[in-house]
Structure 1
């Protein structure tokens, strides 16, 4: 009776100790390493490459997992934020992985949203990665006629912003908690600059490649690291308001390395401290991103010029008009004056 093919596997040469990949009918292929972990990684890459279609496949002939794998390997390494794609793929694979691409329909997309049980915005981002993967495979010649991914309706923009009183209560609740003083610093930076959470938590006092930095001599904030490409989440450089600059100079003089830190170490998460501060401050529920909304809203309420607001906070003019313009004192002013004017 003929033996069944064993499939791709590792074999270690006795003379050199180098691991080989053996695959029935294909000959041995060296991994070039004696390290088992590195050899296993090479085997994984070999299997992915071996099973990759050599020519354009129909939606019935390629699985969603194959399309996501191609997209992750070929496109993700060249974007500014590859981890965002990695998180999206890891969320998509459990549901879509073994399904053929032909199964991507409106019904299955809606079922994915129900199964995933996350916020509508999260589902849209993940399905957007699926659509991008299918388009990439079609563009690179792996796939014919990619289907359209059915997206849930885009949620309304959140308009939760803090009043000055709420912000003061939140800062005080964080500062008086010995375990959350770092959060008070985070809140101040976010309220004065409208910078996003991740960018603030990576920010240092010296130039670095992982994130931005503040220059307390020139009074400028650089929001992204050296060599980091700009993304849709705009991160322009910004001048620092004098009140915040005074805080930053004091923190730096006291030996701080990061703008937000605990005992000299960068803070990775503020989730627990934030929830505690919100509870202690006794204000309506809000997220760290609400601080960005608050900063932009306050700037508009005080009559800042739209062009300056866009440049300072890194917000598009479309978003400014759609979400924040009604807070500006000039909102509909000429229309009201026209209606009040005597004929």
Structure 2
């Protein structure tokens, strides 16, 4: 069996620092052309995704002689044609405001990457082929690709280990041959990755859901543009189970203190320096995420300046009408003036709590512009936002290696704690967090036994109503046929039997 083709892909030439597109055409000839940029280009990843998507779409358009007849049968339309139309209409040539129901695609470079995978698997299929079986084949395709990437990563680790061990053994042999009795200080060997176990590669079928949602969006676009007669949809996979992990107050405090005092090596004025506070930006993120309940990017990208393209924190003094004194106030603008708000990702402006306001005033006076940006990078172009790796390490160091906490747990914790405050309305909490009341109730409003007890106790405080109800229950009812249902006449003083006695006697007779 011949080696399978890799398909269209990017390739980096280290000698020239240029990216190329490589592929094999339908006749078996090699395709290779330069993109004209390399890793030094700060936007090289996004440009690669655009170039690959355009190449794949054009390749399928030429190969399949794409027709532009409208209202076609689903058997005559290929998935590649549908994706090509979607990329053209919704990403590359989208005009904001042309359709009031549609906004710009969020994170287009990520969408293009997923669509490239869709075309790689579904491109030659017609819309008639998109059934539950095709979905299952796609899930297996993603699983096999994940395993292949894990296998390649393992091979690189093994090669690095063997190369390091070879040098280590040569140095040790030289030491023994020279008769030296002391051991030279050597660099520690990397861990031996051992043999590759394909069953150890984690893969969740739910990971295919986002890809399939993009495909359905492209199918909807094709139907709206009258490319197809019938609106086709491919079945989705199941969702991930909802996360239930919630921090308590002590855990949040421990995470903050650990991040605040964590020391390590960083770059200061272009030189490495030891014993600097390397996680102060994580400590600031923890406070902002916990007290605002905001999503990760709305905190990690925040600035103290109104830059338009990112969230920002406004800090200024205002007059307190009660005390007639100037006081510091702070607001989190979760959405920059140039950003787009999506219906499923509300981002309302909120006033920050007093304790968080005091921290923001302090940080701004220290000259900090981006509170969640790592300050000791060797890269002068470091930008805020990349905190995921350091935060995962912080979780493991504080909560243990087996913790399932993630960054979103801060939002989950804030919502859960707020819904437990009886004086706060669900509408106000949902507005503060930027979510719907339905999401708040279904996801975060957990019912506890003590909450049910408060409802029980509420009946005891209902005054005259409960008194009259109790008196009515105690009234005797008239004699009735035991084979019939006793009328529950609460307002009949002439009833001759207690209702509970009638029910019990009736049950005995039926037995």
- Same fold flag (TM > 0.5): yes
Moved more, 147-156 or 129-138: 147-156
Aligned residue in 2 for 1:258: 370
Q: What stretches of structure 1 of length at least 5 have no aligned partner?
A: 1-34
Aligned residue in 1 for 2:408: 289
What SS does the corresponding residue of 1:216 show, helix, strand or coil? strand
Equivalent position to 1:316, from 430, 436, 449: 436
C-alpha spacing 1:36/1:300, structure 2 compared with 1 (3 Å): closer
Distance in 1, matches of 2:456 and 2:142, equals 47
What's the CA shift for 1:142?
A: 1.5
Structure 1 position 234 matched with structure 2 position 353? no
TM-score, length-scaled by structure 1: 0.79
What's the CA shift for 1:338?
A: 6.6
C-alpha spacing 1:260/1:276, structure 2 compared with 1 (3 Å): same
Moved more, 165-174 or 319-328: 319-328
Q: Is the 8 A contact 1:60 1:102 kept in 2?
A: yes
Aligned residues: 307
Equivalent position to 1:248, from 350, 360, 371: 360
Structure 1 position 131 matched with structure 2 position 146? no
What's the CA shift for 1:143?
A: 2.0
Structure 1 position 142 matched with structure 2 position 167? no
Distance in 2, matches of 1:330 and 1:55, equals 65
Aligned residue in 1 for 2:43: none
Alignment root-mean-square deviation, CA: 3.1
What's the CA shift for 1:49?
A: 7.4
What per-residue deviation string (whole Å, max 9, x for no partner) do you get for residues 182-228 of structure 1? 11111111001011111212211111232111101141111011132
Q: Is the 8 A contact 1:53 1:142 kept in 2?
A: no
Moved more, 174-183 or 332-341: 332-341
Q: Is the 8 A contact 2:374 2:384 kept in 1?
A: yes
Equivalent position to 2:89, from 69, 74, 87: 74
What SS does the corresponding residue of 2:445 show, helix, strand or coil? helix
Aligned residue in 2 for 1:299: 418
TM-score, length-scaled by structure 2: 0.54
What SS does the corresponding residue of 2:84 show, helix, strand or coil? helix
Q: Is the 8 A contact 1:55 1:141 kept in 2?
A: no
Aligned residue in 2 for 1:206: 305
Aligned residue in 2 for 1:26: none
C-alpha spacing 1:329/1:235, structure 2 compared with 1 (3 Å): farther
What per-residue deviation string (whole Å, max 9, x for no partner) do you get for residues 52-100 of structure 1? 4311333222221221121122113451514253343234233222322
What per-residue deviation string (whole Å, max 9, x for no partner) do you get for residues 138-194 of structure 1? 110222323221112334432221111111122222222233221111111100101
Distance in 1, matches of 2:241 and 2:447, equals 17
What SS does the corresponding residue of 2:332 show, helix, strand or coil? strand
Moved more, 285-294 or 91-100: 91-100
Moved more, 323-332 or 169-178: 323-332
Aligned residue in 2 for 1:23: none
What per-residue deviation string (whole Å, max 9, x for no partner) do you get for residues 234-279 of structure 1? 1111111111111111111111111311229432321220121011
Q: Is the 8 A contact 2:309 2:338 kept in 1?
A: no
Structure 1 position 116 matched with structure 2 position 227? no
Moved more, 303-312 or 139-148: 139-148
Structure 1 position 106 matched with structure 2 position 218? no
Aligned residue in 2 for 1:53: 67
C-alpha spacing 1:196/1:105, structure 2 compared with 1 (3 Å): same
C-alpha spacing 1:227/1:86, structure 2 compared with 1 (3 Å): same
Question: Per chain length, whose mean CA-contact separation is higher, i.e. which structure has more relative contact order (CA < 8 Å, sep 6+)?
Answer: 1
Q: Is the 8 A contact 1:191 1:292 kept in 2?
A: yes
Structure 1 position 190 matched with structure 2 position 301? no
Distance in 2, matches of 1:315 and 1:329, equals 26
